[in-house]
Structure 1
Amino acid sequence: MFLESFRHLIEIEALKRENQQNLERISSENKRISDLEQRRSKTLLQNDDLRLEEKNLKLEEIQYQIEDWQLRLNKLTSQLSMAATEKEQLAFESQIATVKKDIENNEALYFEKLEKSEEIQNQIKENEEFIKGSLTTLESIKKEVQENVTKEQTIIDNRNKRIESLIDLCHPSLKSLYLELEKKFSPKSRPVGYLIDKKCNACHMLTDSMLKNSLDEGRSIETCPNCGRLLIPETARVY
């Protein structure tokens, strides 16, 4: 009585598994877009951080300090030539030595940070080239993805029409129970289990011989006493 309907359910479940594969391909296609968009966003944020890092190097501030120290050095050098005593001369020479050391340290710091600034500028330029070039790539990928997704969706839609026709061919009682269980188990798992060697292949619950015989002969509709899935007998399988 129910064997033919069980066979329809087997085909329905197979078609739905195939649909899931198509949906995974659609997800993979869309991920191509999101991955590139995320990379572009990340690169834009990286450039913002790089510009802030360059600003914090304070190159102009160090340069102004060096110029101030140089002016002081020039002034001390001029004062040294006018020193009236040996004590004054030694004092000016000491100050000159200190200022020269400060200039030397600041110049070393300046060139070190200048080198870092050049590295940052190169990285910013490289990022900007990627952002500009990837925009064209992104548009191309979007077009390609749209075509691929449309193809996959068309396959799914056609398959769904077959699924709907098969559901309508099922015995009303079986159809009603199947649709009810589908809502209960979706989307984490399937609503059916196969009865193999008296066991539900979904939860491995052992059933009694009377249930198995009735199901194998297509005389009844049974659910697993443990997991509640609709049981399909092996006799309904088409090998």
Structure 2
Amino acid sequence: MNKFLTLAFFAIFLAGCSQPTEKIIVATAANVQYVMKEIQLEFEKESGKKIEIVVASSGKLTTQIREGAPFDVFVSADTKYPEEIFKNGGSDVKPQVYATGALVLWSKDIPEADLKPEALATDKVKKIAVPNPKTAPYGEAAVQALQALKLYGQTEQKLVFGESIAQTAQYITTGSAEAGFNALSIVLSPEMKGKGHYVIIDSSLHKPIQQAAILLKHSDASPKKASSEKFYNFLYSPKAQAIFKKYGYK
């Protein structure tokens, strides 16, 4: 999406809000979307402030932030993208890790007893859904795990990349792919719970999926600066951290 299309999209987006100057706009990595719904409810109840959530892959959200999207807080699926934003002057506050995610192998078709990474190299599996490793940290972790298990060469041609973890989940739950990699938080969500089987991938097979959030400079010149800061701090509160743990984050 070029700069003008991005800005036009968000102009329309904000015009649709009843009080665009009051809502806190939170850019949210797809793996955190269901967690964020619960955190949103708790924060709005506690503070009286309203939140608008925009969901996409961390890489796409970073591109939108770079092109001027009016987000107040960015909740990423890694530390790399928030660090990049900070180094390029997009925030005066260093990003902080709010949780560590877990990678799972998930399938609607493969029986639970047979669901293991080695099964991906068999003839029974024609397609493996993976979030795009160029923009989605969980996709990067999935590729690292396959490489560590020496399965990447046998499975590379089967990989089907989703734009985000949400699209990858759709491929898996509809049976478009026999198996795929996703976030534990997604399979534990009420919307996805019970849709197939999953196994947690050994975290030693990939880099830790540390997830950071950053308070964006966009809020500095905004009447919502104080409420944006309040929401950012709320992410690290015991109440929010309990919700993250409920969805499998460490």
- TM-score tier, shorter chain, comes to under 0.3
Bigger strand fraction: 2
TM-score, normalised via structure 2 length: 0.19
TM-score, normalised via structure 1 length: 0.19
Bigger helix fraction: 1
Larger radius of gyration: 1
